[in-house]
């Protein structure tokens, strides 16, 4: 009887881990693709997965923060392209690349601020508000660039390499930025008053406001964080290719939301994990690479993400009910 009680306590502790669903899914998928292709569990393939995952994952970190606070941002795909596009245009006109980078991030943050103002002041749902800004800035990108990529024309590429270039053993700087962002925002979310307020606001804004939480401030900060992270992700891609395409980031907002949800973040807010978003993004990268190596048609990729998204929501809901009950 005592052993049974200890076993039940052990499983309860396991189920309370927010990332358990995404971790389980990641392990299962990696085992399957390892059996399907002998090239899957290789260093080069792992580096390739981590490179593409990093750009998506940096966005997913910001998206998870905002979703935990109870809001969405569909404009991150456009911000992913517009921030480095602005940086490229400024640097090509003679502005030092580091200054151009800072201006690009400030502009990205201003888009998040605009999104927050529209949502909080005009009382428009974040889904509609950010859908509008997504279309606005994508159109602006195409108009300014004429639909053509903008290349970096500067001679000094050291700073760009620090954003997305290769460092050692094939690992790119974007991977380091991704890990650093995951650690930073995990600490903020789980160990600071602001993180506690984000959970409270996302769980029940009315109750949070009643106990003294500044709901407007918390949501506004998270809107800005979300956009700045999307801009940073765009700059890491700019650092990788030294060029930015105006169509870059299209549909990336949906993958970022999927990564956050697969990682355990609730669509309704108030619950989630940055580490879970990390694993959700990595799982999406694994699916992309594994299907290619397995010889599956490319259109299966979106289908598998959709399946994992639905299964993740079902699994995370069941786990929360078991833990709560």
What are the tens digits of pLDDT across the range 197-234? 999 999 999 999 999 999 999 999 999 999 999 999 99
Q: pLDDT-based confidence at 293, cuts 50/70/90?
A: confident
Q: How many domains does the chain have?
A: 1
> Helix (H, G, I), strand (E, B), or coil: what is residue 251?
coil
- Tokens at 192, concatenated: 């600071």
CB 104 within 8 A of CB 86: yes
**233: in domain:** yes
CA distance 236 to 105: 12
CA distance 276 to 269: 14
The enclosing H or E element of 168 equals strand 166-168
CA distance 86 to 246: 11
> Helix (H, G, I), strand (E, B), or coil: what is residue 245?
coil
The domain containing residue 64 runs over which residues? 20-318
**7: in domain:** no
**171: in domain:** yes
Residue 325's pLDDT is: 54
Tell me what the mean pLDDT of segment 66-75 comes to: 94
CA distance 290 to 69: 33
**92: in domain:** yes
Between 110 and 166, whose confidence is greater?
Answer: 110
**14: in domain:** no
First CA to last CA across the chain, in angstroms? 21
Residue 22's pLDDT is: 74
**1: in domain:** no
Its pTM stands at: 0.91
The residues, any chain, with a CB within 8 Å of residue 51's CB and separated by 6 or more, are 172, 174, 175, 240
The enclosing H or E element of 151 equals strand 150-151
**6: in domain:** no
Q: pLDDT-based confidence at 23, cuts 50/70/90?
A: confident
Phi-psi region of 147 (alpha: psi -120 to 50; beta: other; left: phi over 0): left
CATH number, domain of 228, equals 1.10.3470
**9: in domain:** no
Tell me what the mean pLDDT of segment 127-137 comes to: 94
């Amino acid at each position: 009887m005592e052993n049974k009680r200890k076993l039940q306590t052990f499983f309860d502790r396991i189920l309370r881990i927010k990332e358990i669903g995404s971790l389980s899914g990641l392990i299962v998928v990696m085992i399957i693709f390892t059996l399907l292709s002998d090239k899957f569990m290789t260093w080069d393939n792992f580096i390739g997965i981590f490179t593409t995952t990093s750009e998506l994952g940096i966005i997913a970190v910001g998206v998870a923060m905002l979703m935990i606070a109870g809001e969405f941002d569909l404009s991150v795909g456009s911000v992913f392209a517009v921030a480095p596009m602005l940086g490229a245009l400024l640097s090509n006109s003679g502005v030092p690349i580091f200054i151009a980078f800072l201006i690009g991030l400030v502009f990205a943050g201003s888009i998040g601020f605009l999104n927050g103002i529209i949502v909080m002041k005009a009382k428009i749902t974040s889904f509609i508000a950010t859908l509008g800004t997504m279309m606005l800035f994508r159109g602006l990108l195409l108009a300014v660039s004429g639909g053509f990529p903008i290349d970096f024309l500067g001679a000094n590429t050291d700073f760009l390499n620090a954003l997305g270039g290769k460092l050692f053993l094939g690992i790119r700087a974007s991977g380091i930025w991704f890990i650093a962002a995951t650690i930073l925002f995990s600490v903020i979310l789980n160990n600071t008053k602001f993180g506690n307020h984000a959970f409270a606001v996302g769980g029940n804004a009315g109750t949070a406001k009643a106990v003294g939480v500044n709901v407007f401030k918390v949501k506004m900060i998270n809107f800005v964080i979300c956009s700045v992270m999307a801009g940073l992700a765009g700059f890491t891609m700019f650092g990788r290719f030294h060029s930015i395409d105006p169509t870059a980031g299209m549909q990336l907002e949906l993958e970022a939301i999927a990564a956050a949800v697969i990682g355990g973040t609730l669509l309704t807010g108030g619950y989630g994990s940055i580490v879970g978003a990390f694993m959700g993004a990595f799982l999406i990268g694994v699916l992309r690479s594994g299907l290619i190596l397995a010889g599956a048609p490319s259109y299966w990729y979106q289908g598998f993400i959709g399946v994992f998204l639905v299964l993740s929501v079902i699994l995370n809901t069941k786990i929360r009910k078991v833990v709560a009950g």
